[in-house]
Structure 1
């Protein structure tokens, strides 16, 4: 099944939004309370195509290419977490979102958590899907940095395929269509020119400056769902358990036979879990859109 076949049941728009001067690729569908989907390092909004139809039946969904990623603009400065949060809030403002549920995978979870901590009035609930940002593991950081750089700096599509398969417990989930999408993004001249800025969080000094510590996580007051794959190559289960312990009232769900993309690898299981969580999290006084 192709990306567009998966999306065919819903009416959607794919456009560019000026978010604080950064042209931002945005896929929007549905109506209701806003839910914003944020992908991981070197990723793009297609990470959520298996989730948007189910969610758009109940919510106004926004899947975006984050700052410096995908086809979104790539200003020339290192992309540290405050920059991502600034861009996210600029997107909120540009699209009239006062407050949203955030679904963040990997880097997207790191950004979503920081937004929830620093701007609690803008975040209604938080989903952390194999979220990064709570540890600085040199081996994992090197794996991300090396595999991404190799795939970007070589025209060999097999390196892009290997980079995507690294995320999945079952290599078949790294579909050839996803490989083609990512290979095209990786080999756009502006992406390659921007690579050092995009990978800056894999530098130890930069990462330590941005890391989420237990005291930060303890400040998250929004309903929080943590979803983790037991075969996650970028973080083992104790990392998820530590997040769960630090975030008051959080919910932890572990997926079997699942790697770093639980929303994609176990879409049916994740969609049901997410929709149940969102229904419980929708506060009576939700601010919604301006």
Structure 2
């Protein structure tokens, strides 16, 4: 694997949007493909994918508001709704009528919400280890509370003290093997977390995530999955912490016509851990006649 910025050679970084300021790392000139990171993340979550995806699409990895180097508006009680508004603002400001969406974890929650509320703005949908679904009792294996609490505690520790050690522990939660967390990735995230405005905003985001604060109010009831009307790929990983491949398969069963693919030997960041496989599967899906 190359370094983040060696992988991103040929991309451009811009701040776009009208109502919201959105940092975008992008490559390519085809149909738009917007890539959404998870909670506490940033556009570099897709640094190993943007260039290759950009060979066929206008691949746009973004920072969600309150994250990375995007805008820091006052926090709302409806964070997911604000993220949806941000993406629509980005599309409108660029004159994009419809875009493909891939969302990882929180990003999948946002992308799924947008597809349900504004299906006319979404081409195809990739749900990558997605979060945010409210399961009926007994529908899937219960997600262990310890995994969610561990992520919350590591997230808040990294914000309280954005040191190489605390940031590395937070990133290791995402990977099937700790050695996949590079020193460069730690340094990029540490610098983002140490930025005072980002630090303040992410603290509020974390306090309203992981089942606490206002986050649970926006969860999507499993019955709503039957209402998805755009072609969908559910992308999972064998070692996804807390919710295994059975959960991904269940999502694919409930979304009409959805495909399912499970990446072996990966956890919560298959696009980083297994970029070749991720990109091949996503590109094949986007090019299909679904």
Question: Same fold per TM (> 0.5)?
Answer: yes
Give the equivalent residue in structure 1 for 2:177.
170
2:273 is matched with 265
Cα contact 1:19–1:87 (8 A) shared by 2: no
Distance 1:65 1:15 in 2: 11
Q: Which runs of 5+ in 2 are unaligned?
A: 136-142
Match runs of 1:80-99 below 5 Å = 80-99=79-98
Residue 117 in 1 paired to residue 116 in 2? yes
CA contact (8 A) 1:76 1:197 kept: no
* 2:155 match: secondary structure: helix
Inter-partner Cα distance in structure 1 for 2:29 and 2:86? 23
**Alignment correspondent of 2:61:** 63
* Cα 1:179–1:205 shift into 2, 3 Å: closer
Secondary structure of residue in 2 paired with 1:177? helix
Q: Which residue of 1 aligns with 2:105?
A: 106
Aligned partner of residue 194 in structure 1, secondary structure: helix
2: distance between equivalents of 1:140 and 1:19? 38
Q: Deviations over 1:245-265 (max 9, x none)?
A: 211111111111110001111
Aligned to 1:288: none
Alignment of 1:63-212 (within 5 A): 63-78=61-76, 80-135=79-134, 137=143, 138-199=145-206, 200-204=208-212, 206-212=214-220
The match for 2:35 among 34, 37, 42 is 37
Which residue in 1 is equivalent to 2:5?
4
**220, 223, 232: which is aligned to 2:231?**
223
Find out whether 1:232 has 2:240 as its counterpart: yes
For 2:156 and 2:27, the matched residues in 1 are separated by 33
Q: Judging changes above 3 Å, is the alpha-carbon distance between structure 1 residues 96 and 281 closer, same or farther for their aligned structure 2 residues?
A: farther
Q: Deviation at 1:47?
A: 0.7
Kindly provide the CA deviation profile for residues 106-147 of structure 1, in whole angstroms up to 9, marking residues without a partner as x. Answer: 111000000000000000010011011114854343222211
* Alpha-carbon RMSD: 1.6
User: Which segment is superposed worse, 23-32 or 118-127?
Assistant: 23-32
Distance 1:162 1:205 in 2: 24
**What do the CA deviations read for 1:37-96 (whole angstroms, capped 9, x no partner)?**
000000000011111111111111111101111111111213521111011101111122
1:281 and 1:64 mapped to 2: Cα distance?
27
Asked if the contact 1:130–1:229 (Cα under 8 Å) also holds between the matched residues in 2, the reply is yes
**8 Å CA contact retained: 1:234, 1:260:** no
In structure 1, the gaps of 5 or more residues are 283-290
